[in-house]
């Protein structure tokens, strides 16, 4: 990547994504399931840029969405409606109605009350709703507690017995058609065992339901495959697929999986410019033009992202905290990073930020969100303009005039 030219052309802070990497990741997971019918539904929340969705759609991906906004993004990007899944614990009636009207593949329900609401909305619209139920298998994914979702204490899904009841109810309803089963136990998972345990439980239920004449077509194992940020040993797609398939036996289902981070995480770079260096006592700080509003993962989860200085030959380094200009002590991109002496205008690049980077960014401190650039076919293309101050206040200005406070 030619970071210096990119900084000149698009300014900083800037997100850059290597689309070739996204393609390789997609193909590796698709290939791992080649012995079966499979559908890879990209988890839009990881990075919802329309150009990324369109690119993955062309490769054959579907989308896993958790809001009507994400469903709309997927449709605008050209994802086939039969490859869109709508998950999430708190869908509103208008969101359910929109998804039904669009005739997407299925709604993934996460509670008894939600199932009844889907039924009521479907009845009102005189449409049969295709659904799956999210199982909470009570399995520990051994990841950061904030991104662990498959334990009883987490708000997600329902236990196996409740799920069975919901399927029996759905089967008998005129307005519901159970077609899938779903389980997602967490994110940044590095250990295969929890997947084995969770799919075993889900596959067992699939079998029991079949005996009750509830014949499901889609077996959705969720997302969560971890990536390497530093020196983590990650799960190979082949091993992941084997862990899933081993539990499925002969059952004739389409395997669905919903990777987010795995597809886009290591494709992303956040390019940022050094503003100042300063020392408080012995503590060295490098203050840059990106901040926690651009990348909240370090401050929020204490997540590690490698940071590298661009085009600095100097061998001598010392430890520094790389921080932004936001008024919070959690506003850091890296702690104790080994860096050479830096001057105003030098460039740093923060790595592995393709997932949950831009998509979790905000306008905190009235800061405009970054531009985004794709690197594909040896060319750079702008895929999101940098926000302007006017974009930020647009929803308020009219009210200010009308409200006349
Ligand atoms: N499917 C469902 C139902 C999910 O809730 C998620 C992520 C995924 C798939 C995709 O998981 P992935 O393959 O990306 O691990 N903001 C956090 C991660 C939150 C993940 C939320 N759910 C982070 O920055 O680490």
Percent of the chain, pLDDT > 90? Answer: 87
Tokens 């039904």 — which residue? 100
Tokens describing residue 356: 């949950």
Is residue 135 included in any domain, yes or no? yes
Task: Decide the pairing of beta strands 84-86 and 62-65.
Answer: parallel
Give 174 Cα–ligand 1 centroid separation in angstroms: 33
Higher pLDDT, 346 or 140: 346
The pLDDT of 111-133, averaged and rounded, is 97
pLDDT beyond 80 at 68: yes
Residue 398 lies in a domain: no
Pocket of ligand 1 (CB under 6 A): 43, 46, 64, 87, 147, 184, 187-188, 222-225, 258-262, 297, 301, 355-356, 360
Say if residue 192 is in the same domain as residue 79: yes
21 within a domain of the structure (yes/no):
no
Interval 261-296: pLDDT, tens:
999 999 999 999 999 999 999 999 999 999 999 999
Structurally, how many domains does the chain consist of?
Answer: 2
Say whether 327 is catalytic: yes
Residue 3 has pLDDT above 90, yes or no: yes
> CB of 395 within 8 A of CB of 332?
no
pLDDT digits (tens, 9 = 90+) for 298-333: 999 999 999 999 988 878 999 999 999 999 999 999
Per-residue pLDDT at 138 exceeds 80: no
pTM, rounded to two decimals: 0.96
Average pLDDT over residues 55-82: 97
**How many angstroms from the chain centroid is the CA of residue 241?**
20
From the candidates 327, 370, 395, 399, which is the catalytic residue?
327
Q: Using CA atoms, how far apart are residues 290 and 331, in angstroms rounded to an integer?
A: 10
Per-residue confidence (pLDDT) for residue 281, from 0 to 100: 95
Specify the CATH number for the domain of residue 109: 3.20.20.10
Q: What percent of the chain has pLDDT over 70?
A: 99
Range of the domain at 308: 3-14+266-392
Give the tens place of pLDDT for each residue, 152-186. Answer: 777 778 899 999 999 999 999 999 999 999 999 89
**Whole-angstrom distance, CA of residue 151 vs CA of residue 135:** 10
Mean pLDDT computed over 107-136: 96
Give the residue whose CA is nearest to atom 22 of ligand 1: 187
Cis omega before residue 13 (within 30°)?
yes
Q: Which residue has the higher pLDDT, 404 or 249?
A: 249
Using alpha carbons, select from 173, 55, 60 the residue that is nearest to residue 122: 173
Which of 259, 279, 299 is the C-terminal boundary of a domain?
259
The verdict on 8 and 37 lying in the same domain is no
Does the pLDDT at position 145 exceed 80? Answer: no
């Amino acid at each position: 990547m030619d970071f210096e030219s990119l900084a000149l052309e698009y300014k900083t802070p800037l997100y850059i994504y290597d689309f070739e990497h996204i393609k390789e990741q997609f193909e590796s997971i698709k290939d791992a399931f080649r012995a079966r019918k499979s559908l890879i539904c990209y988890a839009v929340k990881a990075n919802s840029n329309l150009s990324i969705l369109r690119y993955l759609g062309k490769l054959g991906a579907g989308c896993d969405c958790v809001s009507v906004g994400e469903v709309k993004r997927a449709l605008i990007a050209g994802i086939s409606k039969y490859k869109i899944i709508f998950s999430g614990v708190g869908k509103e009636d208008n969101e359910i109605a929109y998804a039904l009207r669009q005739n997407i593949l299925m709604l993934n329900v996460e509670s008894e009350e939600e199932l009844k609401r889907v039924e009521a909305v479907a009845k009102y619209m005189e449409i049969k709703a295709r659904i799956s139920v999210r199982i909470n298998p009570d399995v520990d994914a051994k990841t950061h507690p904030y991104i662990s979702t498959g334990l009883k204490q987490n708000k997600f899904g329902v236990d196996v017995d409740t799920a069975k009841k919901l399927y029996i109810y759905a089967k008998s309803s005129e307005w519901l058609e159970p077609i899938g089963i779903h389980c997602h136990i967490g994110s940044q998972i590095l250990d295969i065992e929890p997947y084995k345990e969770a799919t075993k439980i889900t596959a067992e239920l699939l079998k029991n339901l079949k005996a009750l004449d509830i014949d499901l077509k889609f077996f959705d194992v969720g997302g969560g495959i971890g990536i390497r940020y530093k020196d983590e040993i990650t799960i190979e797609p082949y091993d992941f697929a084997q862990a899933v398939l081993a539990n499925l036996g002969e059952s004739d289902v389409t395997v669905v999986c919903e990777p987010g981070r795995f597809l886009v995480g290591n494709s992303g770079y956040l390019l940022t410019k050094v503003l100042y260096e300063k020392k408080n006592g012995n503590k060295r700080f490098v203050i840059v033009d990106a901040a926690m509003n651009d990348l909240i993962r370090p401050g929020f989860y204490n997540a590690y992202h490698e940071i590298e200085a661009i085009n600095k030959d100097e061998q001598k380094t010392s430890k520094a905290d790389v921080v932004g200009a936001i008024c919070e002590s959690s506003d850091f991109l890296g702690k104790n990073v080994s860096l050479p002496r830096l001057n105003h205008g030098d460039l740093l690049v923060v790595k592995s930020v393709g997932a949950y980077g831009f998509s979790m960014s905000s306008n905190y401190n009235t800061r405009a969100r970054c531009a985004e650039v794709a690197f594909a076919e040896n060319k750079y293309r702008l895929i999101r303009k940098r926000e302007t101050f006017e974009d930020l206040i647009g929803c308020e200005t009219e009210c200010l005039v009308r409200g006349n406070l």
